[in-house]
Amino acid sequence: MLAYGADKVIWAAGGIPVRPASIEGIMGKNVCVAMDALRELCLVGDTIVVIGGGLVGCETAINYARKGKKVTIVEMSDKLLPEPLFIKNMMMLQVMLQHPNITSMPSTKLVKIGTGFATVENENSQQEIPCDSVVLAMGFRPNNEVYTALEGKVDIVNVGDSVRARKVYDAVHEAYTSILSI
């Protein structure tokens, strides 16, 4: 980017899906991140465990349940959709999550992934959930390595999820404000 000679760079690279290396099996062939699953960049089987019951995880579960797949949502928080949403969106999603192909497991965390299963635990027990695929919707971390490398070398502004994971509104607002400052 330095060779390009830009007067200003607006870095809006988004976020990178979280994939904790500490969880055994997380890099397995039967595991993919929700963004890839939703874009059909990976194959998922007929029984799916979605790890993460936030907005992305719930939308992923609804998408696959409507296609006839059996989906289990595992969420560490005590309820699905733990982050605030617009009330109409939350009401609509809560109705959609009542789909007969969706089972939810709040207050539960992923422990291990193996071929044909995901091991989860809650305060009472540990159990293996049989599944063909595990889809990770565990959030995003900032994609800001290039921004950090260029900071101080070029007039650069970081916007959106490359700052920290938030909503689309935040990214659009920051980008708009940055462009107005040129």
Domain segments of the chain as ranges: 9-13+142-181, 20-138
Asked if residue 6 has pLDDT above 80, the reply is yes
pLDDT in tens, 82-117: 888 888 888 999 999 999 999 999 999 999 999 999
Nearest CA to 128 out of 144, 140, 112 is that of: 112
pLDDT of 2 strictly over 80? no
Quote the pLDDT of residue 76.
97
Query: In Å, how far are 50, 86, 106, 126, 154 from 27, measured between CA atoms?
Result: 15, 34, 24, 21, 36
Span 143-170, pLDDT tens digits: 999 999 999 999 999 999 999 988 888 9
Angle, helices 87-96/55-66, rounded to nearest 10 degrees: 40
Query: Rounded mean pLDDT of 17-44?
Result: 97
What's phi and psi for 23, nearest 5 deg?
-90, 120
Half-sphere exposure of 92 (CA within 13 A, CB side): 7
Helix (H, G, I), strand (E, B) or coil at 141: strand
Residue with tokens 């995003």: 140
- Average pLDDT of the chain? 94
Lowest mean pLDDT among 14-23, 133-142, 162-171: 162-171
pLDDT given at position 1: 65
Q: For 20-138, which CATH class?
A: alpha beta
For the chain, percent of residues with pLDDT exceeding 70: 99
Looking at residue 123, its pLDDT comes to: 94
Enter the DSSP assignment of 5: T
Two tokens, residue 73: 């949502």
